[in-house]
A and B are shown apart, each in its own frame.
Chain A
Amino acid sequence: MSDIPKIRLRNVHKAFGPKTVLNGLDLDVMPGESVVIIGGSGTGKSVTLKCTLGLMEPDSGTIEVDGENVVGLSSRERERVNHKFSMLFQGGALFDSLPVWENVAFGPIADKTITRKQGKELAIEKLAQVGMPAEVADLYPSELSGGMQKRVGLARAIAGDPEIIFFDEPTTGLDPIMADVINDLIVKVTRELGSTGLSITHDMASARKIADRIAMLYQGKIIWQGPADSIDHCDNPYVQQFINGRADGPIEMAVRK
């Protein structure tokens, strides 16, 4: 394992008008590691991912990918960096005008590394990796259930053999069994690809399953991080309140103000 972190965020700030969302966030993700950011709604988890992906620009701070600062890159440079990334979106974000196979093979076809015909074969192969039959390839996303859409989204995320995969609340909106299926698949496919993973979730069962390391985000900062199996023994009151899901504690929900 090399010493340069795959992703390195330093002192990242982001505000929307008067509302500060990220307030000096620091985080390292080492190559091959799976880091899960936990935290309540509105603590800046999604903003962290979007800043790293370049969908938003942070107000200040640096974000390094393989040691290269990616803040303020031109759109062409950004495209080159984004080749290393892929993302599983919360709602799947499948293109509903395209059949499943074109969704899965979209990235490689857009890059012109393969033809459309090869794309369909690739899609069927990737669908098999997430446990879906080849017949699904010709369906449209709207014909699939939520869990199937998530799995197609996962197949799309791994189709370009990315170095880094982002997971945005991969289990939200799924029943517990399907959630566990998705968790298993995430662990399996990232291990097979050897990719680095960065996930955000508030589902502790999912975090425990897919994380090597867990980081807790609160008020725009990482307030605790450590190996996934140490989270139950940590004495941070914020983390304890979150993982036990208690309404009482140091974290005050906006509703009680």
Chain B
Amino acid sequence: MNFLQPIGHYVLKFFGSVGRLVLFTLTALSHCIRPPFYPRAILRQMIEIGYFSLPVVGLTTVFAGMVLALQSYTGFSRFSAEGAIANVVVLSITRELGPVLAGLMVTGRIGASMAAELGTMRVTEQVDALTTLSTNPFKYLVVPRILAGITMLPILVLIGDIIGVLGGYLVAVYQLGFNASNYIQSTWEFMENMDVVSGLVKAAVFGFIITLMGCYHGYTSKGGAQGVGKATTDAVVSASILILCFNYLLTMMFFDK
């Protein structure tokens, strides 16, 4: 019966880590609504997550919009449906590519740095030092990051949406020879509020996932430089997978009829 032992070991380990993550999430959420708050720390994280991620998100979405226009032109011209390009670009960007691409890029940028920063603070006893200075490390370190993630990701995605649609417009008008005002008009007509809103809700969820994973893996890391390295990897990998997974679930929720 020896083969059952490793199976049991991994099952227990799995449920152990799920339980720890759930506890961590609930603790973090409960501290989100209880004072004291640290507005300076929240502002600092908002700038870090929102402002400094703008170039990355802008570049990602502009190229995504451009390539969308190009590819859908190749496809649609085969059955003379070129007019649908504006529709495809605006739908894909606002519903899917804006939030998912921005989420994944911010995961690489922010999730990794959060895990590394909190992990280093943990192994150099800075987290313990906070406790001895009568500051709750959850309130001071975790809550500002999560709040900033939830609020800044939708703003980033909204800007990303605009830039992405603009990328599609540039390719359609200057490379494929579409009429500028027709293109803008069909973009406007096809777009529904729900497309944008669903994308922004997704973005808020992704912002929560990214910051939660970064904080969780950093906060619970142990064992020096190697532990911090592992925390960083775990934060990025788990956040990326969860983003793709929740993207599907949320899409189903919003558009399943």
**B-contacting residues of A (Cβ < 8 Å)?**
50, 53-55, 75, 79, 82-83, 85-87, 89-91, 93-97, 106-107, 110-111, 156, 160, 166
Q: Which of A54, A90, A107 contacts B133 (CB 8 A)?
A: A107
Q: Which of B117, B124, B132, B140 contacts A87 (CB 8 A)?
A: B132
Our count of residue pairs bridging A and B at CB distance below 8 angstroms stands at: 51
Supply 19 further A-B pairs (C-beta < 8 A) apart from A86-B132, A107-B133: A54-B131, A79-B134, A82-B131, A82-B134, A85-B132, A87-B128, A87-B129, A89-B128, A93-B124, A94-B129, A95-B121, A96-B126, A97-B117, A110-B133, A110-B134, A110-B140, A111-B134, A160-B133, A166-B132
> Considering the chains assembled together, what is the distance between the CA atoms of A85 and B121 in angstroms?
20
The answer to whether B131 and A53 touch across the interface, beta carbons within 8 angstroms, is yes
> Considering the chains assembled together, what is the distance between the CA atoms of A107 and B131 in angstroms?
10
For A91, list chain B residues within 8 Å (CB): 124-125
Minimum distance in angstroms from B42 CB to a CB of chain A: 15
Residue of A with least CB distance to B128: A55
The answer to whether B136 and A79 touch across the interface, beta carbons within 8 angstroms, is yes
**A-contacting residues of B (Cβ < 8 Å)?**
117, 121, 124-126, 128-129, 131-136, 140
Residue of A with least CB distance to B126: A93
Residue of A with least CB distance to B125: A93
The answer to whether A83 and B131 touch across the interface, beta carbons within 8 angstroms, is no
The answer to whether B131 and A55 touch across the interface, beta carbons within 8 angstroms, is yes
Minimum distance in angstroms from B139 CB to a CB of chain A: 10
Minimum distance in angstroms from B4 CB to a CB of chain A: 22
For A83, list chain B residues within 8 Å (CB): 134
Most-contacted residue by chain A among B121, B126, B140 (CB, 10 A): B126
The 10 nearest A-B residue pairs measured at CB: A93-B129, A93-B125, A107-B133, A87-B132, A110-B135, A89-B125, A93-B126, A82-B134, A106-B133, A79-B134
